[in-house]
Amino acid sequence: MALISPSRRLRRTPFSDGVEAAGVKAYTVYNRMLLPTVFESVEADYRHLKTHVQVWDVAVERQVELRGPDAGRLMQMLTPRDLRGMLPGQCYYVPIVDETGGMLNDPVALKLSEERWWISIADSDLLLWVKGIANGYRLDVLVDEPDVSPLAVQGPKADDLVARVFGDAVRDIRFFRFGWFQFEGRDIIVARSGYSKQGGFEIYVEGSDLGMPLWEALFDQGADLQVRAGCPNGIERIEGGLLSYGNDMTDDNTPHECGLGRFCDTQTAIGCIGRDALLRVAKEGPVQQIRPLAIAGEAVPGCDRAWPIYGGGERVGQVTSAAWSPDFDTNVAIGMVRMTHWTPGTMLEVETPDGMRAAKVQAQFWL
């Protein structure tokens, strides 16, 4: 592919200087911002992530802030996950749906207080939908995108590295919880979360001026831990079944089709805008659903368009993400598969750019 021309519309991040100095080799665009995809090579980055610790510029995970007396009510209007039991200091993975039950985004929501929430979004313009709802319903809430940029620290040595910078108390943060920690005299949110299955943290850097000082501190403190710049890894996230909005699902899919039914409490999520639509589709059950697939043969090329899936000569779905897995010695893939062919063990055929390949529906993801 040709190069992408830089411009002001394609936003840099507070960490871009560090990412460039670390020798980034490729970017994608996410929320109109630069997201690194390769440093050494996708396979070398994968091995390093699973062995050591990496610092990821995930500033593309923009925050939609809700602030005001109606913040909690607005948050519940956006998602079919029941938020009544959610406490300040918790993170929830929340499907966001429109009035048809279609997925608009699959963010992580942070409850800072009863009247203040951050929605840490995937790649779609959620801010516009949320502003529209807030204004259309005349809610008493401010909705905007604050100057907050997440920096992820992922990998088996993440606890050691983050403890050196923020203190040993970070070791006590539980999964999908966060606390406030000091850096250079400023209060910063540190959460135990991140877009890998290797463990680690996400640091919500508030104020772009803090970006490079924090980046430098992590690299200064992590030299003997073999810390490197990294990024969400295209192999590891498929092994782990972490979905990618815009790739693995779009607004044409319901949360149930995406396998996110466990994050929907459609009966009790009173106020959710897509609730009636989801109650209807949940009763019937989905007719297609995301499945892990192992694709036979040599390493497949990058999946930059949906690859048709066939079963008994008929089209029964599509592969939306795929990569060669060194650890599992097969191509790992995510596909949307029709009900008639989604049972684990079912043999299918996938039309890849390199020709037809055999594929097998897996019982679960690899990590």
Residues binding ligand THG (CB under 6 A): 61, 93, 106-108, 120-122, 150, 176, 193-195, 202, 242-243
Which residue's CB is nearer to ligand THG, number 139 or number 238?
A: 238
Which residue's CB is nearer to ligand THG, number 176 or number 183?
A: 176
The backbone region for 241, taken as left when phi is positive above 0, alpha when psi lies in -120 to 50, beta otherwise, is left
> Sign of torsion, CA 356 357 358 364?
negative
Note whether 39 and 228 are within 8 A (CB): yes
Interatomic CA distance for residues 363 and 175, integer angstroms? 25
What is the nearest approach in angstroms of ligand THG to the Cβ of residue 105? 8
Which residue's CB is nearer to ligand THG, number 190 or number 350?
A: 190
Which residue's CB is nearer to ligand THG, number 149 or number 352?
A: 149
What is the nearest approach in angstroms of ligand THG to the Cβ of residue 209? 21
Angle among Cα 117, 241, 50 to the nearest 5 degrees reads 95
What is the nearest approach in angstroms of ligand THG to the Cβ of residue 155? 14
Strands 228-230 and 54-57: parallel
- Residue-wise DSSP of 187-200: EEEEEB--SSSS-E
Question: Residue holding tokens 């001026």?
Answer: 209
What is the nearest approach in angstroms of ligand THG to the Cβ of residue 102? 16
Q: Which helix (H) or strand (E) holds 229?
A: strand 228-230
Which residue's CB is nearer to ligand THG, number 242 or number 348?
A: 242
Of 305, 355, 360, give the one whose Cα is nearest residue 328: 360
What is the nearest approach in angstroms of ligand THG to the Cβ of residue 132? 21
Which residue's CB is nearer to ligand THG, number 46 or number 349?
A: 46
Interatomic CA distance for residues 108 and 86, integer angstroms? 13
What is the nearest approach in angstroms of ligand THG to the Cβ of residue 103? 11
